[in-house]
């Protein structure tokens, strides 16, 4: 488990003035992304967020300000994807975090050299943070699972295995895009309850899912298991994930093998990856109600019980085409918190590997929709509209049961705690285009 050290000191200030104060990317955060100058044909490379600036790691690496593991990691962070950096593991990444924190602190001897390595974030565009080598989506919110199950099985919303095993399915990495992704409305088979044969055409019940993404760092070989006590060492960091869902296609196709075309047309992630080290102050206890089954031994440890969960505030907004034209700000749909998850990131990683499945740097694990215990904390329209039975009225008078063409969904996340610096994840934005028919 990553320990609190000087890089988390809430009193630490940076010589980058915009990094001091209540904002998303203070010196205590230092997340990674892949970027280039907006509208340019310059090379993609790694960068670190500091205040409203990006520290260009390609330029930093050439300065050779660091040594040992920190310099090795700096060179990896300069590449066009973060896969190499992710694969270096906890020791090298911790060394780079410490070196960057010290170099960006007020009074650093490296200030003059690093000032020439900064680019304003509003002058950059972002690429995928890494090549997503594989993608698995889980179902780790019991509140979401119960709410959705109640729509279809009111008397038995949770299937018998839910409280025993982390449920997941293998997704499609080729359709994952970074924030700003715009995609056509999916097309597929659907079947109305009273119809004798299915229809083919554009999805009519398009939805979002408010999730967190977990990026695998150090990988494993075929047959190797990850013990839960070491699972955190294999997590590089986390991002915000919108796992778009075609609910009408899903209802017809999901039995008996689960999601397919309803899930593989688009998933959108935030560009900034918040490292495991940055999240250390915001760890939260993992507990289960006494009446629920306790996790099996391979999914349980004292460390996971004491600090396996994470206190991450989540929020979801909508901006319709009409709202954009009228220059209206996005309207919030719901708020939730990742600490309500029924399974921790360490448990997801451990279970994924328990049968010897190899894990690779850049693998992405989706948490599943993160809904809270209250109805207004739902992480999808399926829940907020009770399966489309209850229409939502927006502030401008528009109504929604499911998403329409031109709608943009914006998701944000941040960590706040007394005695720690607030850190943010940025945001993830995705927009729906008309179907290609």
CATH of the domain at 23: 2.30.30.230
30 backbone φψ class: left, alpha, beta (φ>0; ψ -120 to 50): left
Are 146 and 87 in the same domain? Answer: no
As a whole number of angstroms, the distance between CA 248 and CA 374 comes to: 25
Q: 324-344 pLDDT, tens per residue?
A: 999 999 999 999 999 999 999
Tokens of 343: 């399974």
Query: Contacts from 392-397 at CB under 8 Å and sequence distance 24+?
Result: 392/333, 394/318, 394/320, 394/323, 394/331, 395/328, 395/331, 396/320, 396/322, 396/323, 396/326, 396/328
Is 250 annotated for ligand binding? yes
Decide: helix, strand or coil at residue 46: strand
pLDDT reported for residue 156: 87
Are 203 and 72 in the same domain? Answer: no
pLDDT reported for residue 340: 96
Number of domains present in the structure of the chain? 2
Q: Which residue has the tokens 């396996």?
A: 308
Are 175 and 34 in the same domain? Answer: no
Are 111 and 256 in the same domain? Answer: no
CB 213 within 8 A of CB 236: no
* Domain final residue, candidates 103, 127, 151: 127
Residue among 270, 281, 269, 268 at smallest CA distance from 310: 281
Is 115 annotated for ligand binding? no
Are 139 and 277 in the same domain? Answer: yes
Q: 255-270 pLDDT, tens per residue?
A: 898 899 999 999 999 9
Are 103 and 194 in the same domain? Answer: no
Q: Is residue 76 part of a domain?
A: yes
Are 172 and 34 in the same domain? Answer: no
Is 263 annotated for ligand binding? yes
Q: Which residues of the chain have pLDDT under 70?
A: 1-2
Question: Hey, which residues are catalytic here?
Answer: 144
pLDDT reported for residue 357: 97
Inter-helix orientation angle 68-77/90-104, to 10°: 90
Decide: helix, strand or coil at residue 268: strand
In order, the DSSP letters of 134-174 are -EEEE---HHHHHHHHHHH-TT--S-TTTTTS--EEE--GG
Q: Is residue 1 part of a domain?
A: no
Are 419 and 291 in the same domain? Answer: yes
Q: Is residue 72 part of a domain?
A: yes
Are 118 and 155 in the same domain? Answer: no
Are 43 and 175 in the same domain? Answer: no
Q: Is residue 399 part of a domain?
A: yes
Give the up-direction half-sphere exposure of residue 353: CA atoms within 13 A in the CB hemisphere: 29
Is 199 annotated for ligand binding? no
As a whole number of angstroms, the distance between CA 173 and CA 423 comes to: 28
Q: What is the CATH number of the domain that holds 200?
A: 3.90.850.10
Q: What is the mean pLDDT of the chain?
A: 97
Contacts of 351 (CB under 8 A, 6+ apart): 165, 166, 298, 299, 343
Are 58 and 150 in the same domain? Answer: no
Q: Is residue 161 part of a domain?
A: yes
* Domain final residue, candidates 84, 105, 127: 127
pLDDT reported for residue 1: 61
Give the up-direction half-sphere exposure of residue 336: CA atoms within 13 A in the CB hemisphere: 30
Is 71 annotated for ligand binding? no
Torsion of CA 281, 282, 283, 288, to 10 degrees: 160
The overall pTM is greater than 0.85: yes
As a whole number of angstroms, the distance between CA 384 and CA 354 comes to: 35
Is 313 annotated for ligand binding? no
Q: Is residue 265 part of a domain?
A: yes
* Domain final residue, candidates 127, 153, 183: 127
Q: 133-162 pLDDT, tens per residue?
A: 999 999 999 999 999 999 988 888 999 999
Is 169 annotated for ligand binding? no
Rg (CA), the chain: 22
Q: Is residue 218 part of a domain?
A: yes
pLDDT reported for residue 2: 67
Are 281 and 331 in the same domain? Answer: yes
In order, the DSSP letters of 204-260 are SSEE--EEEEEEE-S---TT----GGGGGGGEEEEEEEE--EEHHHHHHH-TTT--S
Q: Is residue 54 part of a domain?
A: yes
pLDDT reported for residue 363: 98
CB 145 within 8 A of CB 292: no
Is 334 annotated for ligand binding? no
Which domain covers residue 62, as residue numbers? Answer: 6-127
pLDDT reported for residue 186: 98
Is 17 annotated for ligand binding? no
């Amino acid at each position: 488990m990553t320990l609190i050290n000087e890089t988390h000191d809430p009193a630490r200030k940076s010589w980058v003035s915009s990094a001091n104060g209540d904002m998303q990317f203070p010196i205590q955060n230092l997340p990674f992304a892949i970027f280039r100058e907006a509208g340019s044909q310059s090379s993609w490379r790694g960068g670190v967020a500091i205040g409203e600036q990006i520290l260009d790691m390609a330029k930093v690496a050439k300065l050779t300000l660091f040594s040992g593991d920190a310099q090795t990691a700096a060179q990896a962070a300069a590449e066009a994807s973060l896969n190499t950096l992710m694969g270096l593991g906890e020791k090298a990444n911790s060394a780079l975090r410490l070196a960057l924190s010290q170099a960006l602190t007020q009074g650093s001897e490296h200030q003059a050299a690093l000032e020439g390595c900064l680019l304003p974030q509003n002058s950059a565009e972002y690429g995928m943070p890494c090549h997503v080598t594989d993608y698995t989506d889980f179902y780790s919110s019991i509140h979401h699972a119960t709410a959705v199950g109640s729509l279809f099985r009111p008397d038995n919303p949770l299937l018998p295995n839910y409280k025993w095993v982390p449920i997941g399915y293998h997704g499609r990495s080729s359709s994952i895009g970074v924030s700003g992704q715009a995609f056509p409305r999916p097309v597929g088979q659907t079947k109305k309850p009273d119809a004798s044969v299915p229809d083919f055409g554009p999805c009519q019940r398009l939805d979002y899912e408010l999730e967190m993404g977990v990026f695998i760092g150090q990988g494993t070989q075929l047959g190797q298991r990850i013990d839960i006590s070491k699972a955190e060492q294999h997590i590089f960091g986390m991002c915000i994930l919108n796992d778009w869902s075609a609910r009408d296609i899903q209802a017809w196709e999901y039995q008996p093998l689960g999601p397919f075309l309803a899930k593989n047309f688009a998933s959108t992630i935030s560009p900034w990856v918040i490292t495991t080290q940055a999240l250390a102050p915001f760890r939260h206890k993992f507990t289960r109600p006494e009446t629920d089954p306790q996790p099996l031994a391979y999914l349980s440890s004292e460390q996971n019980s004491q600090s396996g969960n994470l206190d991450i505030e989540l929020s979801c907004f909508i901006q319709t085409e009409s709202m954009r034209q009228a220059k209206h700000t996005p309207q919030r749909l719901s708020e939730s918190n990742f600490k309500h998850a029924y399974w921790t990131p360490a448990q997801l990683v451990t279970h994924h590997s328990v049968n010897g499945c190899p894990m690779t740097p850049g693998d992405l694990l989706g948490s599943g929709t993160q809904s809270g215990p209250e109805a207004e904390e739902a992480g999808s329209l399926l829940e907020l509209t009770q399966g489309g039975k209850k229409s939502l009225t927006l502030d401008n008078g528009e109504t929604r049961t499911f998403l329409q063409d031109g709608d943009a969904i914006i998701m944000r996340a941040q960590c706040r705690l007394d005695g720690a610096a607030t850190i943010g994840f940025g945001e993830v934005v995705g927009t729906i285009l008309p179907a290609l028919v």
